[in-house]
Amino acid sequence: MEPQLYTIAVYTENRVSLLHQISMVFSRRCLNIDSMTVSACSIEGVHKFTITCFSTRTMLEHVVRQIEKRIDVIKAFLFTDEEIVYQEVALYKVPTASVVYTEIEDIVRGSGARVLEIHPNYTVFEKTGHTDEIMELFERLKPLGIKQFVRSGRIAVTRSSREMVDEYLLSREARSLMQN
Amino acid sequence: MKELLTGSEILIRSLIDNGTQCLFGYPGGQIMPVYDKLYDYSDRLRHYLARHEQGAIHAAEGYARATGRTGVVTATSGPGAMNLLTGLADALMDSTPVVAVTGQVGSSMLGKDAFQESDVISSVLPVTKWAVQVRRAEDIAPAVARAFYIANSGRPGPVVIDLARDAQVGTAEYEKLEAPFIRSYDSDPHPAEGALEETARLLNEAERPLILAGHGISISGAQDVLAAIVGKGEIPVACTMLGLSCIPSGHPQYVGMLGMHGNLGPNINTNRADVIVAVGMRFDDRVTGDLTKYAPDARIVHIDIDASEFDKMVKADVHVHCDARKALEAILPMLDEADRREWRESFDRHREVEEERVMARELAVAAPGGKMLMGGVVRKVCEAFDDNAVIVTDVGQNQMFAVKYSRFNLPDSLISSGGLGTMGYGLPAAIGAKIGVPHRDVVLFVGDGGLQMTIEELGMIMEYGIDVKIVLLNNNFLGNVRQWQHLFFNGRFSSTPMTNPDFKMLAAAYGIAGADVADASALDAAIAEMRKCPGAYLLNVNIDETDMVFPMTPGGNGVDEILLDESQYYKPR
Ligand SMILES: Cc1ncc(C[n+]2csc(CCOP(=O)(O)OP(=O)(O)O)c2C)c(N)n1
């Protein structure tokens, strides 16, 4: 099976050491995490890790199960790009002087970037999109002399009409009521 | 009723309220408040002082494996906690319920390289099922309740509670807590719909079914249901090493042990079976050999409580995600009675070859020159205990011969380090086992290398008068490595010969009775003497260093490509 970029979504309790517990499953197999974004999600008390990794499906299916095995992990899923809507954000800091002398309108319009700040010395652009779109703008801004560039990890939501984590938590709640 | 107590006392009360009767450990600066309170509770919670924290945790493991109850171990911060790592890794690999409590520096000092501070949580995460640091007295009781629940439910494993000094000396109200509900952890999963029915259907339609019984059988207490299933369907059953004793060795459907040094029948017939049902086992590489040549003709059902084991090594056609006992109980009424005598007898034909070509050689006690062979010694010792003893092993040739030639009448009778293969496990594990099941005989088979890895625990035997029969299979070599050097490294015995101390004298220094058996002719009398001795005993047996374990499936071979001796492969008809 050919390796490709996969997205892994991990839902966890909000406890310390989860980052370590998740990352060690990758490092154990010598897998390089391509990007990772962590934040609280829409379910109260639940955190979501969005991780991208370049590997085979078999390998990452094992990884996902081993992540899910950790006690404080609620659910983990493996997705291909087709199964999700995803986005990244990037910031570009370029010398203001070079901006003034370029056809900057063309670049901004063409890329859908935004100007966040203009300072006599520097200007900061922001762009959201997929990696290739962000890198395309990077190439176009390059002649201006990029002073700083940063790209976030991927964030993603599923295309499915079922909310698997909600369903899981509801079923767990029902189990807990049955037990008591 | 709530009481205001110090954190140390809350810890002890919670341990007791979670069923702890004894614990193994070693004190030190950052766990002293707990030890101070233990002093007051010594009538209700017995503390066994090990001579090394590794000894303490292996003893806790042995106790857990013998009883099914959670083993408890305590250690101080820094060096004490770090000495637990091997045992934690061992317990994780072998699904052994252990709760380890480590002292930790005060929380204001954390992260500042305080004296005897180490980052316990980060260090233990890869080798534990769960780990938590507690910094406040009021968090101790919930952490302990959670720790015991996690350690001994689902697939059992080790848990660490890292107890900062402030938590030990602070005060809080205590009341007994029940096991918590943990929404992110399902300790009792239900199998997917139809999976059990599909398993029964596959078994009923099978002509050559084989059940692989792992450690999960004894963990879930499914021994009787397993026996009922294999009897009803006349289904041959083979055990993994940790599965041994989950079915009596004399059961008509029992066909032997799987794996690299397992029996010919189950290994060969793995590749002839048309349906394999694996229960509570994880297709370890020592069991499967080369995966590309494994069980080519079989539909495979995998029953396990740990979903991460599915398709990890062997792709299964059916996953049954639940407790082994629950699965087998559900399958039993759906199973048809069947006559599979012919298939069952095909195992006997391999068995006959093994008896003739391997066992006859290995079970002969005497080697040229009066030295002895491990296999024969093991068999004689086990017979002296009527095949009813709890057999504990260390790691190496002693382990392989012990598991090959012990016979088991009773369940929960084999305690051995399987997944990690930890030399030094045996002696402390045997001590813990004896403490857990004092009414049973406990016999340890150990090599001269492994014994010396935790030999300091003879001190525990001495201090607490623990009746463990130690059979030292002494070849003055790291025998297992020697065997591989002989077979695969041109007999270059690099760092495997050992100059050994006088073990009998060493035992005597600890007040432990013992005997040297230099010559095979003296073996029977020596075993009888050991059997009669009311306390611990060390039998130092002079083993021929050229002794080798067969059959053997060298690494990289398929499960049915088996050496009968160093040059001959088995060619089944
Ligand atoms: C802690 C540890 N270190 C090293 C090994 C590798 N090892 C496996 S078996 C073995 C030799 C064991 O020798 P001994 O204890 O004398 O037993 P024998 O094989 O001779 O029965 C070694 C070194 C191990 N399993 N565990």
pLDDT at A180: 62
Asked if B125 lies within 8 A of A20 by C-beta distance, the reply is: yes
Q: Which residues in A have their CB inside 8 Å of a CB on B?
A: 12-13, 16-17, 20-21, 24, 28, 61-62, 65-66, 68-69, 71-74, 169, 172-173, 175-176, 179-180
Q: Do the domain assignments include residue B157?
A: yes
User: What are the tokens at B547?
Assistant: 């002794």
Angle between helices B426-436 and B53-67 (to 10 degrees): 50
Asked if B129 lies within 8 A of A68 by C-beta distance, the reply is: no
Asked if A172 lies within 8 A of B129 by C-beta distance, the reply is: no
| Residue B340 sits in the same domain as residue B376 | no
**Residue ID of nearest Cα to ligand 1 atom 1:** B423
- The upper half-sphere exposure of residue B481, i.e. CA atoms within 13 Å in the direction of its Cβ, equals 16
**CB-CB: which of A16, A62, A172 is closest to B183?**
A172
For each of the domains in chain A, give its residue range(s) and CATH number, in order of start. Answer: 4-79 (3.30.70.260), 85-155 (3.30.70.1150)
- pLDDT per residue over B157-214, tens digit each? 999 999 999 999 999 999 999 999 999 999 999 999 999 999 999 999 999 999 999 9
| Residues B146/B160, Cβ–Cβ less than 8 Å | no
Residue B422 CB less than 6 A away from ligand 1? yes
Distance from CA of A150 to the nearest CA of B (A): 29
| Residues B412/B390, Cβ–Cβ less than 8 Å | yes
Domain that holds residue B274: 195-347
**What does the CA dihedral B435, B438, B441, B447 come to, rounded to 10 degrees?**
10
Residue B415 CB less than 6 A away from ligand 1? no
Residue B248 CB less than 6 A away from ligand 1? no
Which CATH number goes with the domain that contains B217? 3.40.50.1220
Distance CA B107, CA B85 (A): 22
| Residue B342 sits in the same domain as residue B403 | no
pLDDT value at A15 more than 70: yes
Asked if B307 lies within 8 A of A69 by C-beta distance, the reply is: yes
pLDDT at A1: 78
What is the DSSP pairing of strand A46-55 with strand A33-40? antiparallel
pLDDT value at B456 more than 70: yes
Q: Do the domain assignments include residue B131?
A: yes
pLDDT at B396: 98
Instruction: Please tell me which residue of chain B has the smallest CA distance to A76.
Output: B184
Distance from CA of B356 to the nearest CA of A (A): 43
pLDDT at B535: 97
| Residue B206 sits in the same domain as residue B91 | no
| Residue B503 sits in the same domain as residue B474 | yes
Which ipTM value was assigned to this complex? 0.94
Q: Return the residue matching tokens 């008896």.
A: B355
Of B347, B371, B389, the residue at which a domain comes to its end is B347
B329: three-class secondary structure by DSSP:
helix
Which CATH number goes with the domain that contains B404? 3.40.50.970
- pLDDT per residue over B256-295, tens digit each? 999 999 999 999 999 999 999 999 999 999 999 999 999 9
Counting DSSP H helices and E strands in chain B, the numbers are 24, 20
Distance CA B92, CA B303 (A): 19
Distance CA B191, CA B324 (A): 11
| Residue B159 sits in the same domain as residue B246 | no
| Residue B154 sits in the same domain as residue B223 | no
- pLDDT per residue over B418-444, tens digit each? 999 999 999 999 999 999 999 999 999
Residues in chain A with CB shorter than 8 Å from the CB of B185 are 71-72
| Residue B262 sits in the same domain as residue B396 | no
Distance CA B503, CA B508 (A): 8
Residue A34 Cα to ligand 1 midpoint, Å, equals 40
If you compute the radius of gyration of chain A from its CA atoms, what whole number of angstroms results?
20
Of B347, B379, B398, the residue at which a domain comes to its end is B347
Of B174, B206, B221, the residue at which a domain comes to its end is B174
What is the mean pLDDT of the segment spanning B25-48? 98
Q: Do the domain assignments include residue B354?
A: no
Q: Do the domain assignments include residue B185?
A: no
| Residue B341 sits in the same domain as residue B399 | no
- Of A175 and B456, the one with more pLDDT: B456
Distance CA B315, CA B283 (A): 10
| Residue B69 sits in the same domain as residue B20 | yes
Please state, rounded to an integer, the average pLDDT across all residues of chain B: 97
| Residue B380 sits in the same domain as residue B519 | yes
Distance CA B448, CA B478 (A): 8
- pLDDT per residue over B460-508, tens digit each? 999 999 999 999 999 999 999 999 999 999 999 999 999 999 999 999 9
Q: Do the domain assignments include residue B188?
A: no
| Residue B77 sits in the same domain as residue B218 | no
User: What are the tokens at B465?
Assistant: 């008068």
Cross-strand bridge partners of residue A93: A124, A148
**CB-CB: which of B125, B129, B133 is closest to A24?**
B125
Distance CA B104, CA B75 (A): 10
| Residue B158 sits in the same domain as residue B285 | no
What is the atom index within ligand 1 of the atom nearest the CA of B473?
Answer: 21
For the entire predicted model, the pTM comes to 0.97
- pLDDT per residue over B80-139, tens digit each? 999 999 999 999 999 999 999 999 999 999 999 999 999 999 999 999 999 999 999 999
Residue B561 Cα to ligand 1 midpoint, Å, equals 25
Give how many domains chain B has, as a whole number.
3
Q: Do the domain assignments include residue B20?
A: yes
